[in-house]
Amino acid sequence: EAYDIRSPRTALHEHNERARIEGIVARLREGQAIALISDAGTPLLSDPGFPLVRAVREAGLDVFPVPGPSALLAALTGAGLPTDAFAFFGFLPPKTGQRRNVLSTLASRAETLVFYESPRRIGDALADMAAMFGAERQAVVALELTKKFERFASGTLATLGAEFSAEETRGEAVILVSGGAGAAVG
């Protein structure tokens, strides 16, 4: 709507995606051109699209990506943390116990760790990261990337955790954490 697109549109989300795949693949086989777009970043990066793209590829049809805004890549390029090796983990579990279990498996990884997070859970996620990775591990919180009010906050997990536990935050966040000390990327 913001770009006044008048072509017929169909909503595709986690609750209806699998049910719509067969019809979309049939339309592609008929020679129709279909675009998978997102108003929140790049499709498939923690957004719907993976089952559809897989089905289209398995049907022997072409997929042509047209890169657009990507919070993941914008965060990496603006954070000031190493980008020669990184790992993207999407959204962490919302509950502390489950989140800490996941984080404990990542503590010794050497590459820059990248997570998406809800604005309501940034402080809790940073506190759990400080507990599992060490309070002095360097991190960056990137907010509202590729949008008008984009900003970056840098510091240790402890200082960022304190900052974001006290602050009302809006918009999706990307949390980047430096690799574990002493671990070798290779």
pLDDT along the chain (186 residues), means of 10: 80 85 93 82 70 90 83 91 94 96 96 94 96 97 88 96 85 92 50
**0.75 surpassed by pTM:** yes
At 39 the pLDDT is: 67
Q: How far apart are CA 128 and CA 139, in angstroms?
A: 13
At 51 the pLDDT is: 85
> Could you give the C-alpha distances from 179 to 16, 82, 111, 116, 134, in angstroms and in order?
37, 9, 5, 17, 11
Residue 55: its H or E element: helix 50-58
At 148 the pLDDT is: 81
Pair of tokens at residue 21? 């795949």
